Structure 1
Amino acid sequence: MNLRVLGLAAVAAAAVLTLSACSGGSSASTPASNSKAPAGLMTSGTLTACIDPEYAPLEYYKNGSSGDIVGFDADGVRALAAKWGVTPKLVATSFDGLMPALNAGRCDIVWSGLYQSDARKAISDSAPDMKAGPVAVAAPDFAAKLSTPEDLCGLRVVTQSASANSTDVADVSKKCVADGKKAIQQSNYPQTAQTVLAVLNGKADVLVETNVGAAYIASQNEGKLAVAKNVFPAETTFGVFTAKGSKLTAPVAAGLKALYTDGTLKKLAEQYKLDPATLDVYN
């Protein structure tokens, strides 16, 4: 499932943003007067979404570390709330606290750049919203040498804690050992900003991140980092999550498809410099 800070160029030279689970929030749209909200909202008239605002361009603080939370996912929450005629409430939540917060009933949905992994599907419901997959990020000359997962054997690879990317790298490392090669020296950090710093500071050779986040990371560190796009296949999807068996599961899925069909999600993708083709999860 994620570069999670506005302006990683600034982050790379400054302090790392620290988030506290489910603290703060923002809303930037006015609900319609005639509510079409489905049953199951934890607070009547409000769509509460847990989100980790450390993953531009999907979700990040407009002012770097304060102000409204913006981005494709954040504005998607607002668009869904507007469709239902309710008020959006974005609750800033640490990445590894997103699913626990959802299952503890502290939010209605999680829309925050998370893979629809088997582990997450086992404990929650979800609807797809974007195609995704891991990619390798490294210094430009080094990135050019990476073309398969096995090229990571023996390297120092950093990932975000509790991410599907972390699991993928661990699985590749097991294969390395099984094939008689050196294991990957894997390290994990709670925030993607920290993983980027690890590569920039020479503590790691490669960062494995999602295609969405990696493109932004490279753009903010031009000449220092580049994406090796073909190391992993793009065979997973990001999803919007609801609690297992929630009354909101079907309405969220229907709402996402409606926002896709009417072009709302495409406009948001273009606004945040994302490829609209990544939204084609219905064919």
Structure 2
Amino acid sequence: MKLRVLGFAGIAAAALVLTACSSSPAAGGSASSGASAKAPAGLMDASTLTACIDPEYAPLESYKNGSSGDVVGFDADGVRALAKHWGVTPKFNITSFDGLMPALNAGRCDIVWSGLYQSDARKAISDSSPYMQAGPTAVAAPGLAGKLRKQEDLCGLRVVTQAASANSADVTALSKKCEADGKKPISHSDYPQTAQTVLAVVNGKADVLVETNVGAAYIASQNEGKLAVAKGVFPAETTFGVFTRKGDKLSGSVGRGLKALYQDGTLKKIAEQYKLDTASLDVYK
């Protein structure tokens, strides 16, 4: 899985509007039938929070049935939680990754909450509120994962990454540092596909896989008992944001709403459900 901050998108999806079901995870009760007293100014529809999302990036957003059904994941459930916080109905506008920001600025949704990082280019054309830190993470067999606490612990190990990813470049640089510090270099291998990197570790051909923390959480959840995430090895270096139109009345309300969901533990519960590192939510400290 290539981190979306590098610009690798999922397949394009039709701009189909889906209303979230209350039976979905963290849906937060029944839909609102009218404008809520808690609804902020700036919503296109005073009774609805419409989010543009690209459901091609589990565990942040994906279709429940793989290619159909409800949109689930941390971001999707975050939209539902924010809508509940405001007493409005959540709605998703399914949009291709490269069309997310254009759709927002064209007025087809109130927010974009879809695994986008707060780049200077995006902040120049929109407002954004932080909600999660992202960065590389080490994945290994449970016994080894528990022993990996810092980057230098990878020196001398067999490490795999996806080719042409930022993680690959990071491991290459780390290996050079290992040698400069008088330690064994990393035996580093690249594979074209993430699935191949996972199999390399599961089959014992490599010791460690370096992936993004978001992708790593999903990989570990799909290989329970075989793989685990080694927390804290790499620093988080990217901040994901929820985007609104530049100067929009809604921008401040989104920031305050996210902070409230963080402080009351709602975002933590959603993160735990998708086996994400809850420390990545500490963007307000």
1:15-60 Cα offsets, whole Å, 9 max, x none, are xx84415334241241275512222222342211011212222222
Structure 1 residues 234-245: aligned runs within 5 Å: 234-245=236-247
1:225–1:26 Cα change, 3 Å: farther
1:219-270 Cα offsets, whole Å, 9 max, x none, are 3246987767677531322211112222211010011111122222222222
Percent identity over the alignment is 68
> When the two structures are superposed, what TM-score results if normalisation uses the length of structure 2?
0.67
Structure 1 residues 67-216: aligned runs within 5 Å: 67-135=69-137, 158=162, 195-197=193-195, 199=197, 209-216=211-218
Structure 2, unmatched stretches of 5+, are 5-9, 22-29, 176-187, 201-205
Counterpart of 1:40 in 2: which secondary structure?
Answer: coil
1:207–1:277 Cα change, 3 Å: closer
Query: How far, CA to CA, are the matches of 2:215 and 2:174 in structure 1?
Result: 26
**Aligned residues of 1:19 and 1:92 also touching (Cα < 8 A):** no
1:166-187 Cα offsets, whole Å, 9 max, x none, are 56867998999xxxxxxx9999
1:33–1:18 Cα change, 3 Å: same
Alignment length (residue pairs): 260
Q: Which structure is larger by alpha-carbon Rg, 1 or 2?
A: 2
Query: How far, CA to CA, are the matches of 2:3 and 2:226 in structure 1?
Result: 15
> When the two structures are superposed, what TM-score results if normalisation uses the length of structure 1?
0.68
Query: How far, CA to CA, are the matches of 2:211 and 2:125 in structure 1?
Result: 23
Counterpart of 2:16 in 1: which secondary structure?
Answer: coil
Query: How far, CA to CA, are the matches of 1:246 and 1:186 in structure 2?
Result: 44
**Aligned residues of 1:33 and 1:85 also touching (Cα < 8 A):** no
> Equivalent of 2:15, from 15, 22, 28?
22
Deviation at 1:135, TM superposition (A): 3.6
Query: How far, CA to CA, are the matches of 1:3 and 1:224 in structure 2?
Result: 23
- 2:178 matched residue in structure 1: none
Deviation at 1:115, TM superposition (A): 1.8
**Aligned residues of 1:3 and 1:214 also touching (Cα < 8 A):** no
Query: How far, CA to CA, are the matches of 2:50 and 2:114 in structure 1?
Result: 13
Amino acid at match of 1:96: D
User: Bigger shift: 25-34 or 69-78?
Assistant: 25-34
1:83–1:231 Cα change, 3 Å: closer
1:94–1:232 Cα change, 3 Å: farther
Deviation at 1:84, TM superposition (A): 1.8
Structure 1 residues 233-272: aligned runs within 5 Å: 233-272=235-274
**Aligned residues of 2:55 and 2:94 also touching (Cα < 8 A):** yes
1:92-115 Cα offsets, whole Å, 9 max, x none, are 222232223223322111111222
- 2:32 matched residue in structure 1: 31
